[in-house]
Structure 1
Amino acid sequence: MPVDTKRVRGPDESQSPLLFVPPTTKTPAPPSEAREDGRRRGQADVRPMFARCGLVSQAKGSAYIEAGSTKLICSVYGPRETERKDDVDMKTGRLVCDFRFAPFSCQKRGAWIQGSGEKDLSLGLLESLQPAVCLHKYPRSQVEVNVVVLENDGSVLSHAVTCAALALADAGIEMYDLVLGCALRQDGPTYLLDPTFPEESGAWAAGYGDNQGRVSVALLPSLNQVSGLQSDGEMGEDTLVEAVRACIEGCHRLYPVIQQTLLKAVRRKAPPAQA
């Protein structure tokens, strides 16, 4: 077998440096204690959000959202003529959603090639946005929504729904209502609204249990209708109903922030008043 003489070869046997780190025992926090970012368990507290529209000049509309350390950017292109010419697309338009993680967004560096998880998130994003977009206004055309996660600190799908709705509104796409997303992780008798990445992934190491699960809700706030709902884990019927209600309350808490962001975007685009 040929040997690459220019490559520095490592030892045949090696050990992880983590073996020499002294173990640290962490006791799980009781449900009554505050979370790491200061929020309380079992309360409808979402992370402070920063949002802005119109950052991508090449796109028809764009939006950027920061929720804690979760950062996303969305670009909307179209409406443009669709490539498919079947009878369905002749009557109504198509909405195409693409969800991707930047290679540097997660703890483990990824690739630009879309994986199975990103495809599932793209489908969830499409299902949440499609009921809100007036596709019958754009026959024989398609609207493309591209979401890129710049930093993943949990609740990426729910914040991607909100960011995409902002970008669609910035692009002037006709919609029945904005779409707001909120996520929740059920931890036994209490819940964690808008969970961070450690809160999302920490409970799954011990396996599933009673009332352990995650819920993501997409809401049309003005119409008070749910456009998307995803749930995994094991939760009772009453627990799931309360989790959905908590997510809806979290969406209503985000609504004023999104409204102010759109108003600022409209004022920036408005022509200056003539004296």
Structure 2
Amino acid sequence: MPVDTKRVRGPEESQSPLLFVRADAGAKPRSLQHRTDGRSAAEPRPVFARAGLVSQADGSVYAEYGRSKVLCAVYGPRESDRKEERRLSGATLGCEFRFAPFSCKMRAAWIQGTLEKEYSSIMEQSLQPAICLHKYPRSQIEVYVMVLENDGSTLAAALTCASIALAEAGIEMFDVVVGCSLRQCGDVSLLDPSAAEEYSASSSQEVDNGSLTVALLPTLNQISGLVSKGEWQEQTSVEAIKACVEGCQKLYSVVQQCLTKSVKRKNPQLVSKA
């Protein structure tokens, strides 16, 4: 019989992936003050990041935010393909954010969706103020982010990973960009929310029920990007932004350690001299 070589055949005997899902996965917290993973409301998830894993890219990083897993690759700066872009005085930045088909509970399509396009645009606007684009005329810098597992706060993780990958690629920057998200449920602010906390609706009918993502330049202490959804009171929104800024400052040390290890790995002579 003819064989369809373009189709990927699965194993003859297989098990449902639902058998390996934890019993508490997707469960709602009994109380907003006591989250399912044991964190307090103002405590971010543990972060692991390592740079230089994609050999074909000029800069790359793999990061884990709890169960969220993000891979980022940076290519450039290189000569622009479009003639109209060559006339610009500085480089052009292009960002592409994608969810892997297996990253969500419902299988994602290969075609870039509306949310992915929105996140790509937000990344581009948030990263531009941090890059010295004027030093790379008639060139382009491309940033690709792939979410391997989505457990919430993926936009904030993508912003941080993209900044690390840009610095690892040797692109001159005014400062790195660190992202942090917050979920507001009434009087409770959940920093770095998981997927269950991010999409669950508040039990009360109060006004403050939304989400917030902040992109911060920690050394310059400037906000390069802010995305807010839902209904907020003025005082609550100000406190939420302050909480996200503090969360970004906490993650800044992780970014510094990741870049320091990358430099030592590329230049082992620096370690021997020290």
Same structural fold, with TM-score higher than 0.5 when normalized by the shorter chain: yes
Amino acid at match of 1:72: V
- When the two chains are superposed, the root-mean-square deviation of aligned CA atoms in Å is 2.0
Match of 2:136 in 1: 138
Q: Distance in 1 between matches of 2:118 and 2:207?
A: 26
Match of 1:255 in 2: 252
Match of 2:166 in 1: 168
Measured after TM superposition, the shift of residue 87 of structure 1 is 6.9
Assess if the C-alpha contact under 8 Å between 2:80 and 2:86 holds in 1: no
Measured after TM superposition, the shift of residue 27 of structure 1 is 8.9
Is 1:107 aligned with 2:108? no
- Which residues of structure 1 form unaligned runs of 5+? 1-25
Deviations 1:156-212 (A, max 9, x none): 0000000000000010011000000000000101110000000001117x7974100
Choose 1 or 2 for highest CA Rg. 1
Assess if the C-alpha contact under 8 Å between 2:28 and 2:36 holds in 1: no
Assess if the C-alpha contact under 8 Å between 1:208 and 1:234 holds in 2: no
Q: Distance in 1 between matches of 2:168 and 2:93?
A: 16
Q: Distance in 1 between matches of 2:144 and 2:204?
A: 33
Distance 1:184 1:75, change over 3 A: same
Alignment of 1:46-61 (within 5 A): 46-61=44-59
Amino acid at match of 2:192: D
Distance 1:235 1:56, change over 3 A: same
Alignment of 1:80-119 (within 5 A): 80-86=78-84, 89-119=87-117
Q: Distance in 1 between matches of 2:91 and 2:28?
A: 53
Match of 2:213 in 1: 216
Q: Distance in 1 between matches of 2:103 and 2:206?
A: 30
Measured after TM superposition, the shift of residue 272 of structure 1 is 3.3
- Which residues of structure 2 form unaligned runs of 5+? 1-26
Q: Distance in 2 between matches of 1:208 and 1:94?
A: 45
Which of 160, 174, 177 in structure 1 is aligned with 2:175? 177
Q: Distance in 2 between matches of 1:202 and 1:146?
A: 29
Measured after TM superposition, the shift of residue 83 of structure 1 is 2.1
Distance 1:184 1:136, change over 3 A: same
Match of 2:15 in 1: none
Which of 231, 234, 237 in structure 1 is aligned with 2:234? 237
Amino acid at match of 1:53: A
Is 1:34 aligned with 2:34? yes
Measured after TM superposition, the shift of residue 29 of structure 1 is 3.3
Distance 1:124 1:188, change over 3 A: same
Assess if the C-alpha contact under 8 Å between 1:61 and 1:75 holds in 2: yes
Give the TM-score normalised by structure 1.
0.85
Measured after TM superposition, the shift of residue 90 of structure 1 is 2.6
Which of 65, 80, 96 in structure 1 is aligned with 2:63? 65
Measured after TM superposition, the shift of residue 256 of structure 1 is 0.8
Assess if the C-alpha contact under 8 Å between 1:89 and 1:141 holds in 2: no
Three-state SS of the structure 2 residue aligned to 1:36 is: coil
Q: Percent identity?
A: 56
Q: Distance in 2 between matches of 1:261 and 1:212?
A: 34
Q: Distance in 2 between matches of 1:76 and 1:93?
A: 14
Distance 1:59 1:207, change over 3 A: farther
Amino acid at match of 2:40: R
Distance 1:270 1:252, change over 3 A: same
Deviations 1:71-106 (A, max 9, x none): 000000011111223378531110000000000000
Match of 1:270 in 2: 267
Three-state SS of the structure 1 residue aligned to 2:225 is: strand
Assess if the C-alpha contact under 8 Å between 2:186 and 2:204 holds in 1: no
Measured after TM superposition, the shift of residue 40 of structure 1 is 1.5
Q: Distance in 2 between matches of 1:87 and 1:150?
A: 32
Distance 1:166 1:66, change over 3 A: same
Which of 222, 225, 228 in structure 2 is aligned with 1:225? 222
